[in-house]
Structure 1
Amino acid sequence: MSAEVQTILRKADAVCFDVDSTVIQEEGIDELAKFCNKGSEVSSLTAKAMTGSMTFQESLKLRLGIIQPTLTQIRDFVTTKPPTLTPGVKKLVGLLQSRNVPVYLISGGFKSIIAPIAAQLNIPNDHIFANRLKFYYTGEHAGFDDSEPTSKSGGKAVVVDSLKKRHNYKNLVLIGDGATDLEASPPADAFIGYGGNVIRPTVQAKAKWFVTDFNEIIDVLNQ
């Protein structure tokens, strides 16, 4: 079964990555919660969202309701707690870009936190699909933009589907660690489960190809 995924990967015309626990080692919203001293309350909700036992939008609303991050806190967090890129991801993204394969980031996290990560990987801002935090003019937390597809369960599939239609991609590959990634294939033509930071048993069991090191993907691309 992994051979089928690897064949599509070698002729990929677009590759989409999940961000939290895939491109970066952390779960962004959990780290933001810790930064705002709300860590333990939020991490259990993240686990429920990842295993699919709660809808994503329920979980997001609850978690943000607990954290209530201000604009200043978000700016301080991005500056003082930059996320850690997963080993090998920069090399993999660079290899794809050198072959003119467009790379996208699709995340249930927040664009304001993901933008600096994308910049490190030379991924353009308009290739980020993520949630948008809202703030009052005072800088206080005002929720999130619920019109973004990524704020809902099944949102990653909506983004993938629209990318395929807009650019006529025929071999779009999605790489991620969570249930929200797994459920987006199809419409993704192939899904690679990633477990280098955290192994989610449902994803490991259902992914046709499951890797724990980005070098495994690089090796297949270089064959």
Structure 2
Amino acid sequence: MGHEVCLSGPRASAVSQLASIYSNSNNNASNNLGNNPPKPQLISKNISILPINGLRHQKLKASELESATRKLWRKADAVCFDVDSTVCQAIDELAHYLGKGQEVAACTHLAMGGNMTFREALAIRLNLMKPNRQQLEQYVQTHPIRLTPGIADLIAELRRKNVDVYLVSGGFRSIIKPVAELLNIDPNEPTSDSGSKHVGKAGVCGLLKTKKSYNTLIMVGDGATDAEACPPADAFIGFGGNQVRESVKKLSDWYVHDFKTLMEELAVSQEEEL
């Protein structure tokens, strides 16, 4: 199963955020990334979100928290991945292409460090770049998306274990779409929810848990906005494979520097089953 949360159009303002969830059923899903996923199904937006406490509310010691998160990772039935600086590098590379690299990188650093809200940072970055549709299309055509090493294999393994996989992002639709396609996540059937309480990664994770009745949903990402998804996500795994943010380390239930570590942890669950 794959999903994506986007903004409405290439120049969406911070107050016009569009949360679009793309879903394809995991029933009879392919066990590898080489086959086409089944047709997507829509997820309703009119769902109340129940309060769910994550691991950090249990006041565990650091070592206990990581151990508990590893166990949750091994038994997760759904995983949400942030896109930019987690699954791939996107916004900062686009900014360099537009000649606004330094300014946008500084804003991204502040946002991911928790010094401003996602919407504030988004508005500033969009105002700095001001890309039009033609520029976005040219960028995608001339700069093929480079996935973070190990993500394709990790998603393939999660699918093999019948874990539902989601992409959750506030980025540009035209950039996220090729990422989804590289991972065989179908981005063609959106359900939109503009401006409601479900906007944002916490809202999406809560909606998914409520609608799909997941026992264990994990959020994986590089920034403070990803950490904010827990709760309702059951745990937040911080990712430092592209950008290491010390402030995010402190917010993480478990912090990893590559996807190989997460793959190896999945193998532990297989050994326990033998």
Fold similarity call, TM over 0.5: yes
Which residues of structure 2 form unaligned runs of 5+? Answer: 1-64, 269-274
Give the CA deviation at 1:167. 0.6
How is 1:199-214 mapped onto 2 (pairs within 5 angstroms)? 199-214=244-259
How is 1:118-129 mapped onto 2 (pairs within 5 angstroms)? 118-125=180-187
Determine the structure 2 residue equivalent to 1:165: 210
Asked if the contact 1:149/1:159 (under 8 Å) is kept, the reply is: no
- Matched residue SS, 2:171: strand
Q: 1:217 aligns with which of 244, 257, 262?
A: 262
Determine the structure 2 residue equivalent to 1:135: none
Determine the structure 1 residue equivalent to 2:195: 147
Cα offsets for 1:76-109 (capped at 9, x unmatched): 1111112321111111000011122111011121
Matched, 1:65 2:127: yes
TM-score of the aligned structures, taking structure 1 as reference length: 0.84
Which residues of structure 1 form unaligned runs of 5+? Answer: 133-144
Q: 1:195 aligns with which of 232, 235, 240?
A: 240
Matched, 1:43 2:105: yes
More helix by share: 1
Give the CA deviation at 1:126. 6.4
> How many percent identity over aligned positions?
48
Asked if the contact 1:104/1:127 (under 8 Å) is kept, the reply is: no
Higher relative contact order (CA 8 A, sep 6+): 2
Distance 1:82 1:146, change over 3 A: farther
Determine the structure 1 residue equivalent to 2:69: 5
Distance 1:177 1:63, change over 3 A: same
Give the CA deviation at 1:206. 2.8
Asked if the contact 2:113/2:248 (under 8 Å) is kept, the reply is: no
Q: Which amino acid aligns with 1:67?
A: M
Distance 1:77 1:92, change over 3 A: same
How is 1:53-132 mapped onto 2 (pairs within 5 angstroms)? 53-125=115-187
* Aligned pairs, number: 204
Asked if the contact 1:22/1:177 (under 8 Å) is kept, the reply is: yes
- Matched residue SS, 2:86: helix
Determine the structure 2 residue equivalent to 1:21: 85
Give the CA deviation at 1:146. 6.2
Q: Which amino acid aligns with 1:20?
A: D
